[in-house]
C-alpha cells in the first residue's frame, strides 16, 4: 500500500470515528465514496468539499458562489499586503502606485461582493 493510500485510509477511519457518515454517492472526480461531515459533503481521497446539485443552473450558481468566495479572500489578502507596503514607503511615486493598486482592489472587491449577493439571493 502506497503512502497516499495509507493516508486516505487513515482519513476515512478518522472521519468515521468522529461521526462522519459514508454516503452511497461517489466523488465525480475519483469515484471514491463521499462522506457527510458536519452537514458538508467531502471526498476524503481528493480531500475536497463536494457540492451536490440537481440542475445545470444550480451547478453554475454553486460554482460561481465558491469562485467568488475564493476571489473575495484573495482580494482581501492582497489589500492587506498593499496596506503593509504602503506603511513602509516614503517615496511619493511609490505611495501613488500603491494607492492606485489599493483603489483597483477595492473596486474589484465591491464588484465581487455585489456578484456574490446576486447569486446568493
DSSP for 44-97, written as a single string: TTTTEEE---SSHHHHHHHHHHHHHHHHHHHHHHHHHHHHHHHHH---HHHHHH
Q: Indicate whether 57 pLDDT > 60.
A: no
Task: Please give the residue that has the higher pLDDT: either 9 or 4.
Answer: 9
- Return the H-helix or E-strand segment holding 109: helix 92-120
Q: Indicate whether 72 pLDDT > 50.
A: yes
Place of cell 511615486: 93
pTM of the model: 0.47
- Return the H-helix or E-strand segment holding 29: none
Amino acid at each position: 500500500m502506497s503512502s497516499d493510500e495509507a493516508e486516505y485510509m487513515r482519513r476515512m477511519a478518522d472521519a468515521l470515528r468522529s461521526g462522519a457518515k459514508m454516503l452511497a454517492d461517489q466523488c465525480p472526480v475519483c469515484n471514491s465514496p463521499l462522506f457527510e461531515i458536519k452537514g458538508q459533503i467531502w471526498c476524503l481521497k481528493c480531500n475536497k468539499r463536494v457540492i451536490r446539485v440537481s440542475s445545470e443552473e444550480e451547478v453554475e450558481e454553486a460554482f460561481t458562489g465558491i469562485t467568488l468566495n475564493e476571489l473575495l479572500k484573495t482580494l482581501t489578502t492582497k489589500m492587506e499586503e498593499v496596506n503593509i507596503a504602503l506603511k513602509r514607503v516614503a517615496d511619493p511615486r511609490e505611495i501613488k502606485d500603491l494607492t492606485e493598486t489599493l483603489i483597483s482592489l477595492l473596486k474589484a472587491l465591491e464588484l465581487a461582493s455585489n456578484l456574490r449577493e446576486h447569486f446568493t439571493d
